A and B are shown apart, each in its own frame.
Chain A
Amino acid sequence: MSLVEMKGIHKYFQAVHALRDVDFHVGDNEIVGLIGDNGAGKSTLIKILSGLFPPDGGEMYIRGRKIGPKRYSVKRAHSLGIETVFQEQALGDLQPIWRNIFLGRQPTNALGLLDVRKAREEAHYVMTELMRFTGAGMSVDAPVRHLSGGERQGIAIGRAMYFDADLIILDEPTRALSVKEVGKVLDFISRIKEVGKSCVYISHTIIDVFNVSDRFVIMDRGEVVAERAREDASEASLIDLIRNTRT
């Protein structure tokens, strides 16, 4: 049984047919590299999977259970163990790090009042233990706009790690990162594999995807055009697949 199974997914944005009959699945403890050129529909597909918006057609199963699109949402995805690190990073620039980490699932008491102490302590743990931030004097109270591109990505990934998901979706996580920071992200993906969890890794940097993925799904203009197990693929063959679809 797959962890996630999407069948015959369609999505329209006004007149644009953004996804056409897409089948996609993720197995247990599997790292799936989702690749394709810009505008292929990768982000649209994972935004449906992460509950941000519903598909206009098709079916979705999580651990074999059918998901009604009307009742699916980001909150529901979180509770089913699906975490997404969006390309846009989804951070509030003016808000402190601790508020960003717990956005949408703040530790509160019965009245809904925030447990600020707990949130700040756990945010500190995410920064120092999970992400191993070493920035001198970096405080959990610092607003996110003061952070570098890599640190911002670190907050977004650390947040996903902290909530201990079964499936972590990373959309272009290495974009705008330094070489060293890219290494950190790839280490993190390897760790997902080690602890038995699954991951969907979206990128158009084939070298990065190739080194950590078990399987590759290639998309073009809203369709899945090819699938390759790692054993049957090489970096060159994947690049060819992406290029050949653009004719």
Chain B
Amino acid sequence: MEKSHSESLAAAEKELENGPLKERLAKKLSEHRVQVAVIGAAVLVFGTFMVLSPAVFLRPRIYVAFLSTAPFFGIMALGLTLILVSKQIDLSFPSTMALGAFVSASIFAATDNLLLGMLGGMSVGAVVGVLNGILVTKVGIPSIIATLGMMFALRGAVHVLSDGMSISLTALSGAPLRNVFVGMSPIGIPAQSLWFIGIAVLLWFLLFRHKFGDHVLFTGDNESAAQMMGVNTDLTKTLVFVILGVLAAFAGVLDSLRMLRWFPTLGEGYLLMTFGAVFVGGTSMFGGAGTIFGTFIGTFLVGSLEAGVIAAGLAGFWTRLFVGVLILVAVTIHALLSRR
């Protein structure tokens, strides 16, 4: 019985595949149009930079710099992609980033154990996710409001707990464990970018090849349908908040490890960059669909603009304007493509 099912599907697909090459290509393109669009945007942006400042953009150094700085918000952008696919929103993650890294740095200061600190910081990130999930699913507060409150509350808590003081991590300078997370890897690219790639691959499998991801997709697409088919959508949403909470704490730990100091303002500039990366990548706010690959490329697009603008000889003030324009243009293209 099983065998005949597989043969019959194979036969049907063969029939489709024997169509004219042009049609098959068109089908493949339309299936992956979001990815094609974001690659197109990347080629355009980096192409422009190469023309405007070839001395900078035709040499590898600038790209190594991007690989060094972009992963900190890129890791959060990956988690945020899952949030948007489930049709929720989270504004609290920059504060979670600071709180998680604070807890991590404090534990390290007290115990001299970095792994214990990281574990503590990421556990706090998970707790924040659970709290967001409870506010949204059990109390019934829309996620934009619940997480806005959480963003302020956690940032306030961080300042109160730290007394507004930064925490030095210079004791970790040269520590082998630090190099595992933010050092230069043997293949010549920063370790944090390898973590970013690894997490991207992991989340792709989680979203598109795991039962949990199926539940995330349907929760965002049609929540009541998911419930009718036995999916616990409250649990699914809560877990998505937990994933972003843990990733934000992890990103915070990496960022403070790189700077060898934890600051109470850690993460404050990342809210819009992170959203920008996800939207430029082609994930919308409508829920039920999203692209990990798009977010991955979007991270480097948004992350490269500042350096690109300055290398092109413009004042740094221009950066925000360009980030805004890039987001608007990319989102317009994605909207036009998905209308067909």
Which residues of A pack against B, CB within 8 Å? 50-52, 73-75, 78, 84, 86, 88-95, 99, 102-106, 108, 111-114, 116-118, 120-122, 124-125, 128, 137, 139-140
| Bound form: Cα–Cα A154–B252 in Å | 49
Q: A103 to chain B: which residues have CB within 8 Å?
A: 214, 218, 225-226, 229, 231
| Cβ–Cβ contact B230 & A124, under 8 A | no
Also in contact, A95 and B228, with CB within 8 A (given A120-B9, A137-B16): no
| B5–A124 touching, CB < 8 Å | yes
Q: Is the CB of A104 within 8 A of B5?
A: no
Q: Is B289 an interface residue (CB 8 A)?
A: yes
Among residues of A, the one whose C-beta sits closest to the C-beta of B223 is A92
Total A-B Cβ pairs within 8 A: 97
Could you say which interface size class chain B belongs to?
20 to 34
Q: How far is the CA of A220 from the CA of B20 in the complex (A)?
A: 58
Binary contact track B205-236/A, C-beta < 8 Å → 1, others 0: 10001111010011001101111111100000
The verdict on A86 contacting B210 (CB below 8 Å), with A122-B5, A125-B5 known, is no
Q: Kindly supply a per-residue 1/0 record for chain B positions 1-43, scoring 1 wherever the CB is within 8 Å of any chain A CB and 0 otherwise.
A: 0100110110011001000000000000000000000000000
Assembled-state Cα–Cα distance A114/B231 (Å) = 16
Q: For the complex formed, measure the closest distance between the CB of B180 and the CB atoms of chain A, giving whole angstroms.
A: 25
Report whether B9 and A121 are in contact in the complex, using a CB–CB cutoff of 8 Å: yes
Q: Does B288 contact A (CB under 8 A)?
A: yes
Q: Which 5 A-B pairs have the closest CB atoms?
A: A74-B230, A104-B229, A92-B221, A90-B228, A104-B230
Closest to A99 in B: B214
With A121-B5, A124-B12, A128-B8 as known contacts, state yes or no: A88 contacts B288, CB within 8 Å.
Answer: no
| 8 intermolecular pairs with C-beta atoms under 8 Å apart | A92-B226, A94-B289, A104-B231, A108-B211, A113-B211, A124-B5, A124-B8, A128-B12
- Chain A nearest CB, measured from B70 CB (Å): 29
For B286, the closest partner residue in chain A by CB is: A94
Name B's A-contacting residues (CB within 8 A): 2, 5-6, 8-9, 12-13, 16, 205, 209-212, 214, 217-218, 221-222, 224-231, 288-289
Inter-chain CA distance A43–B146, complex, in Å, is 33
> Chain B residues with Cβ under 8 A from A124's Cβ?
5, 8-9, 12
When C-beta atoms are compared, the residue in chain B nearest to A105 turns out to be B230
B241 to chain A, nearest CB (A): 19
Residue of A nearest to B229 (CB): A104
Additional A-B contacts beyond A92-B288, A103-B214, A125-B8 (17; CB < 8 A): A88-B225, A90-B225, A92-B225, A93-B221, A94-B289, A95-B217, A99-B214, A103-B225, A103-B229, A104-B230, A113-B211, A114-B210, A120-B9, A121-B9, A122-B5, A124-B9, A139-B12
**Cβ of B283 to closest chain A Cβ, rounded Å:** 12
A75 with B210, Cβ < 8 A, contacts A93-B221, A113-B205 known: no
Closest Cβ–Cβ distance, residue A143 to chain B (whole Å) = 9
Q: In the bound complex, how far is the Cα of B224 from the Cα of A88, in angstroms?
A: 9
Task: For A52, give its contact among B6, B205, B228, B288 (CB under 8 Å).
Answer: B228
A55 to B210, CA, bound (A): 33
Q: How far is the CB of A128 from chain B (nearest CB, A)?
A: 7
For B2, the chain A residues whose CB sits under 8 A away are 118, 121
Separation in Å of the A103 CB from the closest CB of chain B? Answer: 4
> A51: nearest residue on chain B (CB-CB)?
B230
- Give the interface centre of B210, B211, B227 by most chain A CB atoms within 10 Å: B211
- Contacting residues, chain A, for B228 (C-beta < 8 A): 50, 52, 74, 84, 86, 88, 90
Whether A116 lies near B209 (C-beta < 8 A) is: yes
Distance in Å: Cβ of B94 to nearest Cβ of chain A? 29
Q: Considering the chains assembled together, what is the distance between the CA atoms of A112 and B5 in angstroms? A: 23
Q: Nearest Cβ distance between residue A66 and chain B, in whole angstroms?
A: 21
- Of the residues B205, B217, B227, contact of A99 by C-beta under 8 Å: B217
Please indicate the chain A residues that have their CB under 8 angstroms from the CB of B231 in the complex.
Answer: 103-104
Closest Cβ–Cβ distance, residue A162 to chain B (whole Å): 11
Select which of A91, A113, A117 is within 8 A of B225 by beta carbon. Answer: A91
Q: Which residues of A have CB within 8 Å of B205? A: 113
Interface centre among B211, B227, B229, B289 (most CB of A within 10 A): B229
Task: Tell me the nearest residue of chain B to A74, going by C-beta.
Answer: B230
Closest Cβ–Cβ distance, residue B102 to chain A (whole Å): 33
Contact A92 B230 (CB under 8 A): no
With CB as the reference atom, state the residue of chain A lying closest to B224: A88
Taking CB atoms, residues of chain A closer than 8 Å to B217 are 92, 94-95, 99
Q: Which residues of the partner chain A approach B209 to less than 8 Å between Cβ atoms? A: 113-114, 116
Q: CB distance B225 to A94 under 8 Å? A: no
Smallest CB separation, B273 vs chain A (Å): 27
Q: Is the CB of B222 within 8 A of A93?
A: yes
Q: A104: which B residues are within 8 A, CB to CB?
A: 226, 229-231
Does B211 contact A114, Cβ atoms closer than 8 Å? yes
A139–B31 alpha-carbon span in the complex (Å):
13
CB distance from B281 to the nearest CB of A (A): 17
